[in-house]
Structure formats: C-alpha cells, structure tokens
Amino acid sequence: MAELVKLCPISDVAEGSVKSFEVGNSVLAVYNVGGEYFVTDNECTHGAASLAEGILEDDIIECTLHFGAFNVKTGEAVQAPCFTRLRTYKVVVQGGQVMVDMDKEAGE
C-alpha cells in the first residue's frame, strides 16, 4: 500500500472552498465540492498563479490571473487560456483528515 500524506483536517476546508497546503517541495490545493475532497497542484498550468486564490464554482476552479479554468475532479483545462491539464492526486479521507497518495492521480 502506498504511503498517504496528511494534508489537513477536513474542518480546515469549508464546503465550496479551496485552500493551499505545503507538502515537502510541493504546494497542493484542496477543494471541498459538496462535502467531497479533491486535490490538485496549486499552480495554474498557464501562469505562475495560485489556484487556491481562485474562484471555485461547483467542480470548476477559475484562476484569477488570466481567468482560465480547470475541472478539479479530473484536472482537465476547461477554459482558455489554459490548455495543459492540471495534476490531480488520489484523496483518502480518514479519521477526519484529508490525505493524499502523492504517487497516484485522482481516479486511480
């Protein structure tokens, strides 16, 4: 079994919001969409901007730098000028904590 990395308590990310957390050399964005948690890289693939500072609407995060957008569940770019997919991570919620498998994508 892969090693899970603890990101935060579920209470740290309110429903309909996004927050960033540092994990080693990475900064990850944690999203709460309808009580379900998703994790992606925090940096927009189009420009050096924090997605945690973006606007989350349902399962779409809009970057505030150039207004490109991504689906937080799949990482797919859904609005120009973003075209490169965002890296996602497999999320496990256990003991009230949001944890990720840094070696697996969401859906694996």
Convert the pLDDT of each residue in 29-57 to its tens digit: 999 999 999 999 999 999 889 999 999 99
| pLDDT score for 108 | 83
Determine the distance from the C-alpha atom of residue 42 to the mean position of all C-alpha atoms in its chain, rounded to a whole number: 6
In CATH terms, the superfamily for domain 5-101 is Rieske [2Fe-2S] iron-sulphur domain (2.102.10.10)
What are the structural domain ranges in the chain?
5-101
pLDDT digits (tens, 9 = 90+) for 56-75: 999 999 999 999 999 999 99
| pLDDT score for 3 | 87
Exposure of 95 in the CB half-sphere (CA atoms within 13 A):
5
Q: How many residues does the chain have?
A: 108
